[in-house]
Structure 1
Amino acid sequence: MKNPIYIKIVEDIRSEISSGKLKPGDVLPSETSLCSEYDTSRMTVRKGLSILSNEGYIYSVPGKGYFVEKPDYNKYIFAYDEMSNLINNVDRTKLLSVDIILPDEKLAGSLQISESKKVVMIRRLFYTEGEPMAYDIKYLLYKRGVPIVENEIKNATFPEMISDRTSLYDLNKELIIYAKIPEEKMKKLLHIQNKIALLVVEQKLYDIEDKPIGLGITYFRGDYIKLHGVSK
């Protein structure tokens, strides 16, 4: 079956960009020229150009046309699941505490709330094959009338914890990842006896209005986690 014309436009322009015939910054033929070349409507041409734009091959400048986009070599896509990574899975969790607290200045600033606004703090340990692999702490905005059921949050991922507060389809997430030397208290919690660094993953969850609704910080033993990303 013959491909639609807009797919032909996408494939032809994509091929010219990939081969170097069209270089970053080069202007594409006008919509009128493409209509003539492919003997098709302006709507069909725009559909093809829209696909190329969404794929990151081109961008438009109002009144000037379409240009070849410079590839972003520094952008990677990777999946993050606090309960599973390339080398280890969490097979048991231990709920250490669930407390309602008043945030300090740093936490209040991160959650964009006043220091008088209550926050639910959840502390857990993650285990794999009997050994503690991560210390996990979550901060959720306290919501009067919404019960905290310990059995439900014990094994829940961060998004699952807030599923009764906002639709997961409206959820936006931000990650910050960094290494840290463990303090003595953390060494005892994670049974660290030699020089092993921590891989710290901070997750911030936002609602549909882009307001923070939760902050999670997970301290992984460096020898128990491995993340993988790919460029697109």
Structure 2
Amino acid sequence: MYKYREIYSDIKKDILTNHYRAGTLLPTQEFFSDKYKVSRVTLKKALILLENEGLIFSKQGSGTYIRSKIDKITNELLPLDLPIGVTYSHRDQNIKSKILYFDARLPSLEEQKQLLLNKTDPVYEFKRLRILNGRAYSFEHVVMPTYITTITEEILEGSLYEYLRQVAKLQLVDAQRVIYADQASKEVSTGLMIDEHSPVLVIEQTAYDQKGHAFEFSKSYFISDQTKFSLDIHIKK
């Protein structure tokens, strides 16, 4: 794999996971050249790829900035190889959440296994519809241990990951994902406004924080003909 492709992938990940924040200056070329031990020519190739994707832009005499708005609106799913949510994958688009169910209970056997919990450890369970630009985008069914932090319906109406980052000092760092096709149940079809038994794409995810603790077990359902998956595959030589 070419070095500039590795650098491109690494910086892209930092942008999409909000390490480099939208609307702020990207670190200098000198910084990146020192960090990756490459020439300016090699680094420039990586930056061109990022600019072509609309992730960064340059201002004469000012520097290179993280683009705060994605110009080309797309219904493409968040990149599968990056642990990010809808808020970051569709930055500056109109994202809303409709809470369909929210409660606390004891975990099932599957949830105990996925989240490494005891049968007496309580969990939050919630179901919400993510709405993108006025249209149903995904149906989320999520289970989280209650020990992480206090969660309310008001919090779930916004970006949960951002709330966890700010309040619980918890960051989504890694995720194990299983992707498969299924038929929409009555509950999912009602939320997504499609016919019951219609084909849907499902992402089953166990999410891990910066300490390696599993803090989320979820299933997200997407309308099959309105969803595309993106995955970058690189082979190191």
Match of 1:156 among 156, 159, 162: 159
| Matches for 1:1-232 after TM superposition, within 5 Å | 78-79=81-82, 81-83=85-87, 91-143=95-147, 146-157=149-160, 159-163=161-165, 164-168=167-171, 171-193=173-195, 196-232=198-234
| Native 8 Å contact 1:127 1:133 kept in 2 | yes
TM-score with structure 1 setting the length: 0.56
**How large is the Cα RMSD of the aligned pairs?**
3.2
Q: Report the Cα distance in structure 2 between the residues aligned to 1:101 and 1:131, rounded to whole angstroms.
A: 31
| Native 8 Å contact 2:183 2:196 kept in 1 | no
CA 1:111 to 1:104, structure 2 compared with 1: closer, same or farther past 3 Å?
same
Q: Report the Cα distance in structure 2 between the residues aligned to 1:112 and 1:91, rounded to whole angstroms.
A: 32
Q: Report the Cα distance in structure 1 between the residues aligned to 2:188 and 2:135, rounded to whole angstroms.
A: 14
SS at match of 1:186: helix
Which deviates more, 117-126 or 179-188? 179-188
**Please, which runs of 5 or more residues in structure 2 have no aligned partner?**
4-36, 39-78
| Native 8 Å contact 2:179 2:201 kept in 1 | yes
| Native 8 Å contact 1:176 1:201 kept in 2 | yes
Q: Deviations over 1:92-129 (max 9, x none)?
A: 22112321111111111111111211001121112235
Q: Report the Cα distance in structure 2 between the residues aligned to 1:161 and 1:122, rounded to whole angstroms.
A: 16
SS at match of 1:204: strand
CA 1:204 to 1:166, structure 2 compared with 1: closer, same or farther past 3 Å?
farther
| Native 8 Å contact 2:98 2:157 kept in 1 | yes
Q: Percent identity?
A: 19
| Native 8 Å contact 1:120 1:139 kept in 2 | yes
Q: Report the Cα distance in structure 1 between the residues aligned to 2:205 and 2:80, rounded to whole angstroms.
A: 16
Q: Deviations over 1:19-42 (max 9, x none)?
A: xxxxxxxxxxxxxxxxxxxxxxxx
Q: Report the Cα distance in structure 1 between the residues aligned to 2:203 and 2:222, rounded to whole angstroms.
A: 8
Max Rg structure: 1
Q: Report the Cα distance in structure 2 between the residues aligned to 1:110 and 1:139, rounded to whole angstroms.
A: 10
Q: Report the Cα distance in structure 2 between the residues aligned to 1:193 and 1:77, rounded to whole angstroms.
A: 27
Q: Deviations over 1:43-65 (max 9, x none)?
A: xxxx99xxxxxxxxxxxxxxxxx
Q: Report the Cα distance in structure 2 between the residues aligned to 1:117 and 1:219, rounded to whole angstroms.
A: 27
Q: Report the Cα distance in structure 2 between the residues aligned to 1:101 and 1:208, rounded to whole angstroms.
A: 26
CA 1:118 to 1:95, structure 2 compared with 1: closer, same or farther past 3 Å?
same
Q: Report the Cα distance in structure 1 between the residues aligned to 2:198 and 2:168, rounded to whole angstroms.
A: 37
Q: Report the Cα distance in structure 2 between the residues aligned to 1:78 and 1:178, rounded to whole angstroms.
A: 16
